[in-house]
Amino acid sequence: MPSLLQSLLLRPALGSHRLWRKQRKSALRKAFPVVEEDQLSKLDIHKSMGPDGMHPGVLRELAEVVAGPLSIIFERPWRTGEVPEDWRKANVIPVFKQGKEDLGNYRPVSPTSIPGKRMERLILGIMSKHMEENKAIRSSQHGFTKGKSCLIASYDGMTEGQMK
């Protein structure tokens, strides 16, 4: 049974159910996230490691060795929709903001697993590409869309009102 993410990405189009199944299986194979060496070599070594103890510097230095095995590891969560428990864990650390020594002046920071973050970025890229290719997001959508901002949307709205 496909995960919720896969169901959203591979929703049946108009046509027969059998055709949809074939398309879904082939699309899954095509859309499988593969870790590339350049993605790992761009990791910031000054970031802290997650609860799994894996430092981004290690992944960066061993990018060409680790990229293949990470792709294999990422295959199972992609196919089943189940994220490994270690990737869901985080150490919540209170970080002092500024001002008075008050409990309200601390913000929680929770470093998570570096491989888990890489998997999230891969899935985000695949979903964004799918939404863009299938015109799932209207051109008027500006919030949370790469390259657009709500400020541009409000400016567009004001200029449209002046033209009328």
The domain limits of the chain are 138-164
Helix (H, G, I), strand (E, B) or coil at 134: coil
Determine the Cα–Cα distance for residues 117 and 108; give it in Å rounded to an integer: 18
pLDDT in tens, 30-71: 556 678 888 888 899 998 888 888 899 999 999 888 888 888
pLDDT of residue 163 exceeding 80: no
Chain position carrying tokens 């200029």 = 159
List Cβ neighbours of 55 (8 Å cut-off, separation of 6 or more).
Answer: 45, 49, 114
- What does the pLDDT read at residue 3? 46
